[in-house]
Structure 1
Amino acid sequence: MRIAYLILAHNQPNQLKRLITRLTEKNADVFVHLDAKSAFQPFEALVKLPGVYFIKNRVKVYWGSFNIVQATINGFYEILATGGYGYINLLSGQDYPLKSNEELLDFLSENPDKAFMNSLVAQTHWLEALPRVQEYHLNNYPFPGRYLVQKAINTLMPQRRIPNDLILVGRSQWFTASVECIKYIVDYWEKHPALRRFMKFTWAPDEFIFQTILYNSHLRDRMVDEDLRYIDWSGGGASPKLLTMEDAPKLISSNKFFARKFDAMKDSAVLDYIDNHLLKK
């Protein structure tokens, strides 16, 4: 079995190169969506690396916006057109593996056709997500004064309802899913334009749209509420804690396959530690 990695990146080409090098060692290819706001020139050298492909249909990505979903979908299209993969693994440029590709492939071979993704049901276990779809959000349209316009719209307009009464499910945008599951997600997305229009005015839809589509399908039993990633949300903010050497013991004991997020410009020692103690490089 081969695995395709889809990496959403926007900066730090050297750190991205390091990540790619760790991912392409056995039965794996890497597809990179580079934010269209980022210049391509600093990343040109990465194109020459074996098993690396840059997504041609780039979009401008803004935090919390619909375009993160579009960037991911564009990546799925190109990966599926290439063919030959059993699983697709979605990462950011600030992720890093904690186990080897061989270990991951063995695990996925033992768990075929699954989707490892956070899948909290919003109505019962993720109430904070409900306003993301019930209200209008203009994150995808970065014009001056948009929050005032957004507030006015939500004052005047009735509460929104997700098309087809889909059950809202999710939590984290990062996941590992079989190609069969990804094909279903892409096909559903393509056949339901009303859902695509609806999602353009939600907040951070990348954290729930893919899980929601799958959960409301005949493939629900393929979902495993485990994203295989170590992420520290102890800070309580909108972004996870930046991992450093002080987190090394937790990374070792986590038994996860990936971790996020890292910044090599602030602490590269933790990546060296992972290489030496977990990946045996």
Structure 2
Amino acid sequence: MKIAHLILAHAAPAQLSKLIGALAHQDAYVFVHLDQKADLSAFGFLLESKNVVLVPARIRVGWGAYSIVEATLQGFRAIAHSGIHFDYVNLLSGADYPLKSAGEIHDFFSRNNGHNFMEYHRVSDEWTEAIPRLTGYHLTNYQFPGKHLAEKWLNKLLPARTMPAGLEAVGRSQWMTLTMDAVQYILAYLDDHPEVIRYFKLTWAPDEIIFQTILYNSPFRSSLVNDNLRYIDWSKGGASPKVLTEEDFDRLSDSGKLFARKFDLAQFPTVLSKLDRKFGITNYKASLNGGGKL
């Protein structure tokens, strides 16, 4: 069971190194997309670590923009073109951390081989708050003077947008674990449907909808499990989830999930140390002998 962990990172090299170490396994590779805005010199270990690959095409990522989808797709392409047969692609952020040992994670996907794990709800009736993302025009992915005024007039003068290609929209969390076959399907689908790319470039936070929608409207629907295997605490009600601390340890331990987010090693290191001890997570240094290229 070979797993490619795809990490979207933009900061905190020490925390990223710890995450990579926790995922280390003989059948695991880690592909890191490092935001183009980040200083590569602080992440030199990515070029020196065994089974770690820095995704060569780095995207300048903006919050809520299609650029997050582009960064993910660059990671998918790097994995697909690596020459290695992977069974699963596991999408993580640099602020995530496993709640199981690497061996247990690989065993889980071996037992559940062929299933695709992601959170998805129908926008039409289960996640209706997302409807304006799809019907309105959003210029989040673009930077030019007068952008907000242009967006205002687009929404005032033009009719509401509709989903292309007969797609039924579903989505929620962008973090997921997909079979390599599903990832290959997504890449081929977008190559064949440029109108879908154009549509989602004008959608706010499309990373929470596009991949789920493609797979939900595909032959892979029967393989979907509506569980992204992540513990995420939205109880604070903000635009971002709660930063997890030692006070969350019992809930994390009892969650039964494979991963959690989000963590801050600099401010709250104790919770990660306790998770290491609880679940037998071995932290290998990311700067192992070996190259960062395949």
TM-score after normalising by structure 2? 0.93
Provide the C-alpha distance between the structure 1 equivalents of 2:152 and 2:274, rounded to a whole number of angstroms.
Answer: 47
Asked if 2 retains the 8 angstrom alpha-carbon contact of 1:4 and 1:87, the reply is yes
Deviations 1:42-84, CA, capped at 9 Å, x for gaps: 0012321111000001110000000100000110011011131
Correspondence for 1:134: 135
Q: How many residues of Structure 1 are paired with residues of Structure 2 in the alignment?
A: 281
Residue 206 (structure 2) pairs with residue 189 (structure 1): no
1:280, distance to aligned residue in structure 2 (A)? 4.8
The structural deviation recorded for 1:36 is: 0.6
The answer to whether the 8 Å contact 1:98/1:279 transfers is no
- The one-letter amino acid paired with 1:150 is E
RMSD between aligned alpha carbons? 1.0
Tell me what 2:114 maps to.
113
The CA distance in 2 between the partners of 1:2 and 1:166, in whole Å, is: 31
Are the aligned partners of 1:26 and 1:101 in contact in 2 as well (CA < 8 Å)? no
Secondary structure of 1:224's match? strand
The answer (yes or no) to whether the contact 1:133–1:161 under 8 Å persists in 2 is yes
Alignment-derived partner of residue 7 in structure 1? 7
* C-alpha displacement of 1:142: 3.1
- Give the aligned residue type for 1:178: T
Q: Is the 8 A contact 1:26 1:102 kept in 2?
A: no
TM-superposed CA distance for 1:144, in Å, is: 4.3
Corresponding residue of 1:23: 23
C-alpha separation between the residues in 2 aligned to 1:16 and 1:211?
A: 26
Partner residue of 2:291? Answer: none
Between 1:160-169 and 1:271-280, the stretch displaced more is 271-280
CA contact (8 A) 2:65 2:205 kept: yes
Structure 1 runs of 4+ with >4 Å offset: none
Partner of 1:39: 39
- Please give the TM-score of this superposition, normalised by the length of structure 1: 0.98
Matches of residues 1-281 of structure 1 in structure 2 within 5 Å? 1-82=1-82, 83-281=84-282
Q: Distance in 2 between matches of 1:156 and 1:94?
A: 40
State the Cα distance separating 1:279 from its structure 2 match: 2.6
CA distance in 2, matches of 1:218, 1:90: 21
8 Å contact kept, 2:22–2:281:
no
Structure 2 portions without partners, runs of 5+: 283-294
Q: How far apart, CA to CA, are the structure 2 residues paired with 1:207 and 1:222?
A: 19
162-171 or 3-12, larger mean C-alpha shift: 162-171
Higher deviation after alignment, 41-50 or 118-127: 41-50
Matches of 2:248 and 2:232 in 1, distance apart? Answer: 11
1:276 CA drift (Å): 1.1
Counterpart AA for 1:180: D
- Larger RCO (CA under 8 A, 6+ residues apart): 2
What's the % identity of the aligned pairs? Answer: 48
Runs of 5+ in structure 1 lacking a partner? Answer: none
Q: Tell me how far apart the structure 2 counterparts of residues 98 and 147 of structure 1 sit (CA, whole Å).
A: 41
Output the CA distance in 2 between the equivalents of 1:172 and 1:250.
20
Cα offset for 1:245?
Answer: 0.6
- Following the alignment from structure 2 to structure 1, what is the Cα–Cα distance between the partners of residues 106 and 222? 21
Q: Helix, strand or coil for the counterpart of 1:124?
A: coil
The CA distance in 2 between the partners of 1:28 and 1:105, in whole Å, is 9
* SS at structure 2 position matched to 1:219: helix
